[in-house]
Amino acid sequence: MGFKCGIVGLPNVGKSTLFNALTQTAAAQAANYPFCTIEPNVGEVAVPDPRLETLARVAKSAEIIPTRLTFVDIAGLVRGASKGEGLGNQFLSHIREVDAVAYVLRCFDDGDVTHVENRIDPLADAETVETELMLADLESLERRIVGAEKKAKGGDKEAVIQVAAMKAALAHLQQGQPARMTRVSDEHRPVFDQLGLLTAKPVVYVANVDEGSAATGNAYSRRVEERAKAEHAQFVVISAKIEAEIAQLPLAERSEFLQTLGLEEPGLNRLIRAGYALLDLITFFTAGPKEARAWTVHKGARAPQAAGVIHTDFEKGFIRAETIAFDDYVAGNGEAGAKDAGKMRLEGKDYVVQDGDVMHFRFAN
C-alpha cells in the first residue's frame, strides 16, 4: 500500500535538507535559492517500531522487514503560486498526489540563509503556503460546481451529494479556512475525497529549529505548536541541520551523538510516526522463522482487508485470521506459548484489526 506524505514550505526553510536526512540520500538538491527542486523527489522510509525487533527475537526470524512510508520533497511555494508564480502549477499538481502534507516552517535565525520574504515568521510562512493552496481550491471548486449543479438539477443523485460537499467546502474556503475544517459524514466522505482538494489533506507542522533548540524548541516553534494544538494537528520539532549530520554518521555512533544533544532519538523518527498517525494508519505483524514483518492498514480495517495487503488472493479466499495481541505473543514467548495460554483468537470477516496484532491468515485457494 502506498502512503505518501508531501513536504512543503517556502524556499530556504530546510525542506530539502530534511528530505535528504529523512531518506539518507543526497537526492534532493539543497541550495540557497528558490526553485532549486523542480521535480519532486521521492523517498521511502522505514517506520521505526521497536516492537518489530522484539517480535523477531521471540520468533527467531532470519529477517526483519519494517512497514514503510513515502515522503515527497515538493519544491518551495511562493506567494502567487496558485496563479502560476514561480513554478506554482507544477508544485500544486504534485501536492494533489500525496495523502498528507508536512508544512516545514523556518524557526531559526541565520543571516547566511536568505528568506524569500526577508523576515523570520513561521506563522506568516504557514499562512502564505495555506493561502495559495486555498486559492487553488477555490478556483477549482468555483469552476466545477456549475457543471455539478446542472447534473443535480437533472436528477443525478451523486451530483446532488457532490454539490452539497462542494458548497460545504466553499463556505470554509471563502471564510479563509482550509477545506479540512469541513464536517463530512461517513456516507459522504468518498465523494468529498474525490474532490481532490489541496487543503482537505491532513497536516503536520514541522518546526525547523537551530541546533541549540533541537531538544527544547524555541520561541518560534512554540508559536507553531500553539497553532497546531488549536487545529488538533500533528506537530514536530526538528533541526534539519542536526538530522543531516546524524544521517552521515555510522549507526554505532548515532546514539552517543544524540545523547550529547539531549535527544532520545532522531527527530525524523518523530516525524515519520507523526506522518503515520496523520494518515490514521496502524500496524499489524506477521512472524515466523523466515521473517518478522510489519504491515500497514487504515484504522478500522477488517481482517480480510488486512489479508489483502499481503496478497489479493488472501482477501478473496479469506477464511479466518489466527490473531494474537503483541503483548500476549511476547509474554507467551511466541505463537505456541500464547496458544497454550489461550491467547490466540480465531477471528472472522468482521474482525476489526487492532494495532499490534500478530496475525496468520487462513484462506481457500
Rounded to 10 degrees, the C-alpha dihedral 84/131/77/167 comes to -60
Is pLDDT above 50 for 123?
A: yes
The SS3 of residue 206 is strand
Choice between 90 and 320, residue whose per-residue pLDDT is larger: 320
Arithmetic mean of pLDDT over the chain: 86
% of the chain with per-residue pLDDT over 70: 88
* Lowest pLDDT segment from 35-39, 224-228, 250-254: 35-39
- State the Cα–Cα distance between residues 157 and 163, nearest whole angstrom: 10
Please say whether the beta carbons of 15 and 79 come within 8 A. Answer: no
Give per-residue pLDDT as tens, 29-70: 444 333 334 455 888 888 888 999 999 999 999 999 998 888
Q: Is residue 89 scored above 60 in pLDDT?
A: no
Residue 88 pLDDT greater than 60, yes or no: no
Distance CA 286, CA 294 (A): 7
Residue of higher predicted confidence among 338 and 74: 338
The per-residue pLDDT for range 268-304, each reduced to its tens digit, is: 888 888 888 888 899 999 999 999 999 999 999 999 9
Name the nearest CA neighbour of 272 among 108, 38, 55, 48: 48
Q: Residue 37: what pLDDT? A: 41
**Measured between alpha carbons, how far is 298 from 281 in angstroms, rounded to an integer?**
4
Does this model's pTM top 0.85? no
Q: Residue 223 has what pLDDT?
A: 96
Q: Rounded to the nearest 10 degrees, how much is the dihedral formed by the CA atoms of 121, 124, 126, 129?
A: -120
| CA 234 to the chain's CA centroid | 10
* pLDDT for the residue 26: 42
Query: What confidence score (pLDDT) does residue 91 get?
Result: 61
Tell me which of 173 and 80 has the higher pLDDT: 173
Q: How confident is the model at residue 224 (pLDDT cuts 50, 70, 90)?
A: very high
State the cell numbers at 358. 500478530
Alpha-carbon distance 114 to 206, whole Å? 19
Beta-strand ranges (E) seen in 22-99 are: 41-46, 63-65, 68-73
Please report which residue ranges of the chain form alpha helices under DSSP H. 15-23, 50-59, 88-96, 122-153, 157-173, 189-193, 219-231, 240-248, 251-260, 267-278, 303-310, 312-316, 326-331, 335-340
For the record, the C-alpha cell of 233 comes out as: 494537528
pLDDT at 29: 41
Q: Which pLDDT does position 90 carry in this prediction?
A: 58
Q: Phi and psi of 3, rounded to 5°?
A: -115, 125
Cα(202)–Cα(199) distance, integer angstroms = 8
